Amino acid sequence: MIVKALLENTTENPALQTEDGLSLYIEANGHKILFDTGCASAFADNAQKLHVDLSQVDIAVLSHAHYDHGGGLLTFLSLNSKAPVYLSADAFGEYLHGTDRYIGLDKALRGNPRLVLVSGNRSLGDGLELLTGEGRALAEPIHPNGLTVRRNGVVVPEDFRHEQYLLITEGQKRVLISGCSHKGIVNVVHWFHPDVLIGGFHLMNLDPQSGGKAALDHIAKELLGFDTAYYTCHCTGVAQYRYLKDQMKDRLFYLSAGQEIAL
């Protein structure tokens, strides 16, 4: 299995673009998979520079319905004529930052025949499975961090019911791919106990130099309680990653645009 970061907030390759978004290319169990598309077309430009042919992708997955993960979907659909795109049946909700800033998907995508709306968990075959965590007990409360949704005309805190995770089982290894882990990275690990977890932890609001230190200490302790290797990126935050790295050592790594993991 290989996992290559097409797009992320950072890079060590000056030829690549960066943005506050995420896109991963995965080869596993005979499939070529695109996981998230960033904000627009930068992921596709980077893919070309990294010699990834997006036209050959046969499965695409959208982790959740925020623009920094699904903003490039129209670009992908224009480059690839065959891959189904799996996203939550709740993907076209009115997702906001605060009370009025829309951060959801382009409504022009609604009804596109290439989109496969998923309710709950779904097996994609060949050791690939989409999981939601919905209905499972929470080890930790979900923190919306100012993200909201408008339902029935009322703006309420997000519960992230549109978030899903890709579990890849290859041989004896279980690799979980997450976009932002909005439902709580501790919850995600408690629910699924993967051997490897790759994705954002959404800790960027926890300042390790001030009020966020205790929360980061707690998260590090919880994550170290599982026999899991972690590769993080995007919304974790660089300062937060460095703080966690000091405690988690060789259990935690950063994945920036252009980097590849072989598992």
34: which 2 tokens?
């695109």
Instruction: For residue range 7-30, list pLDDT tens digits in order.
Output: 999 999 999 999 999 999 999 999
Supply 201's token pair: 């932890």
**What pLDDT, on the 0 to 100 scale, is given for residue 89?**
98
The span from the CA of 227 to the CA of 193, in Å, is 8
Euclidean distance between the first and the last CA atom of the chain, given in angstroms as a whole number = 5
What pLDDT does residue 49 have? 98
**What's residue 94's pLDDT?**
98
DSSP 107: G
DSSP letter string over 16-81?
Answer: S---S--EEEEEETTEEEEE---SSSHHHHHHHHTT--GGG--EEE--SS-HHHHTTHHHHHHH-S
**Residues in contact with 106: Cβ distance below 8 Å, sequence separation at least 6, in sequence order:** 67, 70, 71, 73, 74
Per-domain residue ranges of the chain: 2-262
Q: Give me the mean pLDDT over the 220-230 stretch.
A: 98
> What's the pLDDT tens digit per position in 168-189?
999 999 999 999 999 999 999 9
Class of residue 198 by CB neighbours under 10 A (exposed 0-12, middle 13-18, buried 19+): buried
Residue 219: C-alpha distances to residues 73, 207, 210, 246 (Å): 32, 13, 16, 13
- The CATH code of the domain at 2-262 is 3.60.15.10
Instruction: Give the tens place of pLDDT for each residue, 114-163.
Output: 999 999 999 999 999 999 999 999 999 999 999 999 999 999 999 999 99
Give the model confidence (pLDDT) of 40-67 as tens digits: 999 999 999 999 999 999 999 999 999 9
